[in-house]
Structure 1
């Protein structure tokens, strides 16, 4: 069983996600504008990577079509985010959940239908499921959430829906990024490992 997706595709998506996870982690203001900016950057870059890779896939027509659709939808969401940075939290939640539910379902579906035929199928299933879970998690956050608390530095702060949602997005990218970087490097090294195993079996049979 071989992978039809080049190893650098998941690595590029993963590095993009990890970079934005770091940005959110070290930015104190988890406001909706930060969500628009980071989601827009991620969606444009990751969507373009997916769309370009779909045109080069050696997979079946359905997989190429679904991957291309996922890439184009992602780019479209990114353009909207970057064009409307002051759209407010409700519209950001709408964009984020729409993006996560549609693209998550598409990637999950491609992974499930590719099981046993493509080494990347397990990665698609995991990432698709994780993205769909992001949509559910965001929808569970009460939009009117506003709770005061005292931080470790004894400074009074406020937990809001924006803080929780943008923080969840950063956590999603951290998991998403780490998984895809590891998965991509595994794809890169797998052929060499398979060749070594084949040579060892041949030597052992002599």
Structure 2
């Protein structure tokens, strides 16, 4: 009865070793330019957050224009990441996210700048909600497919989670919302669905931009440590 237990333990440890080896192999093959792509993706998010923060008139048309510009710009950057970075570990997921971002971005810009009255708060809410839920789902699935221990996985899972959270929160914004601020100080103005939905988008873009900057420099440090380890091992191999 002892032998099968030992055999089971041996196979478990062997699988664990193989898993660690495969993770190490994946990290060895991670392209050096991945962190630069993260940094470039942070740029439209942070600019969009600043534009929303420092603009007082939050209308549905304004929301479509800002969100559309950010989505289109991000989609182009992600597209270059999918096509231009050789050996990308999640090329198909990144490419799908790029196409979705470009299509939604173009649609939003049309809604925000065209000579029509389709730029309603109802359309804005559902456009943002659907984009965020689908994009978040793509990123979370990519994170599940990718190795748990890999240095690249955290950015995918975190950005996917906050993107999906945005979609869920915005979907629950009532389009008919129009509540006066009032209060003891008798503040003028009202909280409308446009203000709330665009505010959520601005907060999301700010968090995403900061997250991408942090994850980019974290990944750069990890890749440098990896390369230093390679350089340290190479002379030893030559001597042997």
Normalising by structure 1, report the TM-score: 0.87
**Contact preservation (8 Å) 2:151, 2:222:** no
Per the alignment, do residues 129 and 57 of structure 1 end up closer, same or farther by CA in structure 2, a change over 3 Å counting?
farther
Structure 1 residues 109-118 or 119-128, which shifts more?
109-118
Per the alignment, do residues 42 and 191 of structure 1 end up closer, same or farther by CA in structure 2, a change over 3 Å counting?
same
**Contact preservation (8 Å) 2:97, 2:138:** yes
Q: Indicate whether 1:166 and 2:198 are aligned.
A: yes
Paired residue for 1:79, among 106, 110, 127? 106
1:30-81 CA distance string (max 9 Å, x none): 2111210111111111011111111225145xx3112101100110000001
Distance in 2, matches of 1:136 and 1:195, equals 40
**Contact preservation (8 Å) 1:115, 1:122:** no
Q: Paired residue for 2:64?
A: 36
Unaligned runs of 5+ in 2: 1-23, 234-240
Corresponding pairs, count: 199
Structure 1 residues 102-111 or 146-155, which shifts more?
146-155
Q: Indicate whether 1:70 and 2:97 are aligned.
A: yes
Distance in 2, matches of 1:74 and 1:142, equals 25
Q: CA RMSD in A?
A: 2.4
Paired residue for 1:111, among 136, 143, 158? 143
Distance in 2, matches of 1:81 and 1:177, equals 20
Q: Paired residue for 1:122?
A: 154
Distance in 2, matches of 1:151 and 1:44, equals 40
**Contact preservation (8 Å) 1:13, 1:49:** yes
> SS state of the match for residue 173, structure 2?
coil
5 Å matches for 1:8-157? 8-55=36-83, 56-60=85-89, 63-85=90-112, 86=117, 87-116=119-148, 118-150=150-182, 155-157=187-189
Distance in 1, matches of 2:231 and 2:64, equals 51
The alpha carbon displacement at 1:192 in A equals 2.7
Normalising by structure 2, report the TM-score: 0.76
Unaligned runs of 5+ in 1: 202-206
Distance in 1, matches of 2:36 and 2:197, equals 29
